[in-house]
Structures are given as C-alpha cells and as structure tokens.
C-alpha cells in the first residue's frame, strides 16, 4: 500500500512550515498554500508523519492511497 500527503483545506492557514520540512514533497502556490508532489515513499514515511505532527493547524495528514 502506498501513502500520500493530504491537506484539510478548511484548517490550513498557509503557514508554509510543511514546505520547509518537506520541500521536495510539498511546494507552495502563490498564496502560500501547499501543493503535494507525488506519493510518499516508504523511506520517507517517518519524515512525512513528523511534518504532519508539526503542522500548527494539524491540517496535514499522511493517508493511504
């Protein structure tokens, strides 16, 4: 099973911290909202989960695809 990052849009406030933590997996649009790039490979799962925990709004989630 593979995983990807998902954003709870109503909760996201475009802090951009997720992009700072995972710049190759999350880009920002012109307003600072995250754009997910591809899936989360197994060797990046711990890093992705740590980024999700670090989101100030708890708006970032690692979900199964």
Residues that bind ligand SF4 (CB under 6 A): 7, 12-18, 34, 55-57, 59-60
Distance CA(48)–CA(61), nearest Å, equals 8
Residue 25 or 60: the one with the smaller Cβ distance to ligand SF4 is 60
Residue 48 or 60: the one with the smaller Cβ distance to ligand SF4 is 60
CB of 41 to ligand SF4, least distance (A): 20
Distance CA(17)–CA(43), nearest Å, equals 21
Residue 29 or 43: the one with the smaller Cβ distance to ligand SF4 is 29
CB of 6 to ligand SF4, least distance (A): 10
**CA atoms lying within 13 Å on the CB side of residue 23:** 1
Cβ neighbourhood burial of 24 (10 Å; 0-12, 13-18, 19+): exposed
């Amino acid at each position: 099973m593979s995983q990807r990052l998902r954003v709870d849009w109503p909760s996201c406030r475009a802090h951009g911290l997720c992009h700072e933590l995972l710049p190759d997996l999350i880009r920002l649009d012109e307003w600072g909202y995250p754009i997910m790039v591809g899936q989360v490979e197994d060797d990046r799962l711990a890093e992705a989960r740590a980024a999700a925990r670090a989101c100030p709004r708890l708006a970032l989630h690692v979900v199964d695809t």
